[in-house]
Structure 1
Amino acid sequence: MNQPTISLKWLAYTYVVGLSLSACYSMLTKQAIPFSPFAFFTLFFSVNHFYGIYIKEADNEISIRPAWGTFFLGIFSYSAFLGTQYPEWGSNLFSVSLTLILAIWLIYKLMFGDKRYSA
């Protein structure tokens, strides 16, 4: 019997997608951040490669919830990073708190949840 496994490739790519999406949004909306095309390249290639992985492993429903968690972890961790780099923009308590909550939930899910992983 083939049991479903949490795909670590999904988690890595969704984290990179969230991180680069937040970087692209910040570059376009905030003047203090210099423009760089590398965040857009990273977003394009990571989404493209993640889509290929998603098509190959379409029956992997157990990885969806942790993948969404790592996506939002990437978004909020970049926002927390910008909040520490530019403290004059205001408090980053929400970003740091959500980053820590998501990281703790993901660590708990990977360590004590299902013990089946695939690389």
Structure 2
Amino acid sequence: MSGKKNVRRKPILLALLVGLCGNATLATLSVSELAFSVFPIISLALAAYVLYQEYLSAPMEGDTPVCTLLSFLVGVFGYSAFLRTQFPEMGTNYLSVMITLVLVIWLAIKMGVAERPVPEAEAQK
């Protein structure tokens, strides 16, 4: 339709990492099956700091804020699905997997990855 979307990739990847590390930190502190580790806490602090610095250095224009939020939620629900796959006694991971898939599809559409190619005749108009 409008061609290439103007969405920056760095904040999206950092938001995914913050979502993963945030959920891993909460799981490390609250799930008894997991051994305590300081690494999710350190990586959460570093990823959040770098994301904040990225936010301060360049404005988020276009669909970047929405894509960043979607990426954060993909990280949270994706780690939850992974954790429930690893420890089945915690419950089913069906809802987490379905929410993650819907969010990934929505993110792909927002970023312009899942768009159909525009025929050359329509692109020249």
Normalising by structure 2, what TM-score? Answer: 0.82
- Give the 4+ runs in structure 1 shifted more than 6 A: none
Task: Note if 1:15 corresponds to 2:16.
Answer: yes
Bigger relative contact order, structure 1 or 2 (CA pairs below 8 A, ≥6 apart)? 1
Q: How many pairs are equivalent?
A: 110
Identical pairs, percent:
32
- Whole-angstrom CA distance in 2 between matches of 1:61 and 1:19: 24
CA shift in 2, pair 1:99/1:59, >3 Å:
closer
Out of 69-78 and 89-98, give the one that drifted further: 89-98
Question: Which residue matches 1:103?
Answer: 104
Question: Which residue matches 1:38?
Answer: 39
Please say if residues 63 and 110 of structure 2, whose CA atoms lie closer than 8 Å, have aligned partners that are also in contact: no
Query: Which amino acid in structure 2 is aligned with residue 69 of structure 1?
Result: L
1:60 CA displacement: 2.4
Query: Which amino acid in structure 2 is aligned with residue 46 of structure 1?
Result: A
CA shift in 2, pair 1:36/1:45, >3 Å:
same
Out of 68-77 and 84-93, give the one that drifted further: 84-93
Question: Which residue matches 2:27?
Answer: 26
Please say if residues 70 and 107 of structure 2, whose CA atoms lie closer than 8 Å, have aligned partners that are also in contact: yes
Question: Which residue matches 1:50?
Answer: 51
Query: Which amino acid in structure 2 is aligned with residue 47 of structure 1?
Result: A
- Structure showing greater radius of gyration is 2
1:59 CA displacement: 4.6
> Which consecutive residues of structure 1, in runs of 5 or more, have no partner in the other structure?
114-119
Out of 8-17 and 50-59, give the one that drifted further: 50-59
- Whole-angstrom CA distance in 1 between matches of 2:98 and 2:57: 35
